[in-house]
Every structure is written in C-alpha cells, then in structure tokens.
A = this chain, B = another copy of it.
Amino acid sequence: MSVNPLSISLGFRKDKYSFVSFESTVFGIFCFYEFMDTKRPTIPAAEEILGGYFPVLDYGFVSLVDYMGSDEDVERAARVSYGFGTRKRSATRGLIRYLRRHRHTTPSEMVEFKFHCAMPMFIARQWIRHRTASVNEYSGRYSLMPLLFYKPELEQFALQSQANRQGRGEGAPRDVWMDAVDRWDRLRSDSSDTYRWLLEEDVTRELARIDLPLSTYTQWYWKIDLHNLLHFLSLRADAHAQWEIREYAGVIAGMMKRVAPLSYEAWVDYDLCGAAMSRGELDVVARLLEPRGDNGVEARPGGGLLDGTALAALGLSSREIQEFRDKLRPRDRLDFELDLTRMRSAESVAAEMERAVPVEE
C-alpha cells in the first residue's frame, strides 16, 4: 500500500506526489498560535482555550480557533438600535438579559465564533442542517479519509423509546451490546479493507469512499454568529436531540460561556431552562394565580383545582395537558463548564488522526 502516513490533510500518495513534510501538512488544517498585540476586543478567558482541542466521544473534538467580539459588542450594537438608557458598566448584564427575554436577537449577531470540529458523519448530517453558518468540510473526493469510527459505549446503547418515536429508552442488555461491538468491528474492518484496496487499485477517491459507514469521522471548520449559535445550542443541547450531538453542544456551550458569559447566562435562564406557554396554558395559570400587592403573586383564593375536563374546556388537548404538567416539575439549572484538564494540543490530535490514514506498507 502506497500512501504517505503524513498526508491526511492533503491526501497525497507518496509515489505520485513529492514528499510533504509533517509541518506543512498539519498546518493545512490545524492552527498554531503566537501572541500578538491587537486593539480588537479581547477576552482572556477565551484566549486561554484558543486553539486547544477538547475531546468529544471517542475520536471527535471541538476547538475554538477564533472569535470576534463579546458581551460588550452585543450591548454596543443594541445601543445603536435601541438607544437604551444611560450606560453604566453594571447595566450590561441587565441589557443583555432584557434583549434575550424580548427576543431582540440582532445585536447578538455581532459576535462571531470559529470552531474546528470532528464528528461521525451521522452527526455531521444533523449539524449541517443549521444553514446560517459557514462550513468547510474535509473532502473525501480530494483527501484520504482517516479510518476512525464512532463506537457507542454500553451506557449509550439503548432500546428504542416507547414513549417517544425518536429517542432512546432504557439501556439494552450488555450481551446485545457486546454482540453489536463485534459486528461493528467486523463491518468497519471490512469496509476499511475495501477502501484501502480501492485506493491501491487507484480507483477514484470519490467512489472508493462510498461504502464507508455513517459512523466514520469527518471534520470541518465551522463559523457562526452568537445568535445562530444559541439557536443551534437550544436545539442540540435539548433532551430531544440525539445524545451524541448533545455531547458536542455541551462543549461548545462551555466555550461560548468563556467568550460571552452574560449572554450565556441569559440563554440558560430564558431559553434552555425556560419554556413557551400557549394561550391555553396562560389561561390556566391566570385562573389559578393572580398578582398580589405591588410586586407579589399568589394562588387565587378558592380557585384551587382544574381537572382534565376543565383543562380541555380551556382548549388543551390531552397531550398538551401532560406537557403543561411537566412544566410544573422543578427543573435543574443546567450549566456547561469546560474541563480544562481534558484540553489537548493541536499536535497530539493531528498526530492521532494521521495515524488513522491508510498508510503504505
């Protein structure tokens, strides 16, 4: 087999192209940094992780490679548009919370993030549906695919949910998982063999890769503004999202928190841990609660109980009634905090990936 081990990003075959050095190859995808002076808004907590690689799943990662702006840029943009009151430094938080509460989202478009991410293709296919972002993905037409595959852990290996037509239910038996691991190992080994064989036969890469499984890792640069990132996170950090993409959302949320901590906090309070109430649900609440005094709220005296019939009369379907009741359960405040001890260097991640590229014997 005749593929240069140092050529992941470029996909060169040593017998066909001149030798490429390790440095130049890795430079092509991974970023290395040096300190410079800038007048641009700069956030020390973000600088601390810039260019560091945080593992996700078995071979995936997310790295924050660049950012533009912070909470104060959201504020400044809002003040141009809305002219909100006197600016006191202590007022930044209040303004940012007000904006988010009232869905004034355009100022948060003024902050931008750039990430380098690697994920299995079935996750990439969910992720890419977020259209208001810029993406440059590793191309299997040009480059050799690193043969890395996602293998679910037992903890994640669940039965189909009975309650919910898409999600996961309780865990599957351990022996089923062990059988599954065997099957996955065999399929991936066979699929890798075929990929390597087709490359050796010099078959065009764009066809050689068509039987790689959806569990194969791909990678991309992903650039998105804060407004659209929060929308992504609201959907992908949600309990209805597939567990694997939620793992990515959690790491990205931790990075976002470092760039724009007040926006992060407002998003947690108003979006992630909030909920929409329908006209009917508001009617229910208004039947049972009322303002009291200047700034209090109390249960409406004597208005104690609405049973299923009463709720249906207010327009709630039986499914909506259960959804409303779920909203009455106390909810934890979620938080996403990066574990800095897991941060890896670009060099080490790049080297791991290079070793997975089909190599010459």
Contacts and interface: CB of A to CB of B under 8 A. Distances in A.
Nearest to A279: B273
A61 to B, nearest CB: 14
Interface residues of A, number: 178
Contacts of A159: 202-204
A248 interface: no
Contact of A176 (B68, B135, B203, B301): B203
A51 B112 CA distance: 18
A298 B285 CA distance: 10
Contacts of A168: 204, 206-207
A143 B83 CA distance: 6
A275 to B, nearest CB: 6
Interface string A210-228: 1111111001110101000
Contact of A211 (B139, B188, B296): B188
B308 A298 contact: no
B331 A279 contact: yes
A345 interface: no
B307 A202 contact: no
Interface centre among A83, A201, A296, A307 (most CB of B within 10 A): A83
Interface in A266-294: 268-270, 273-286, 288-294
B24 A290 contact: no
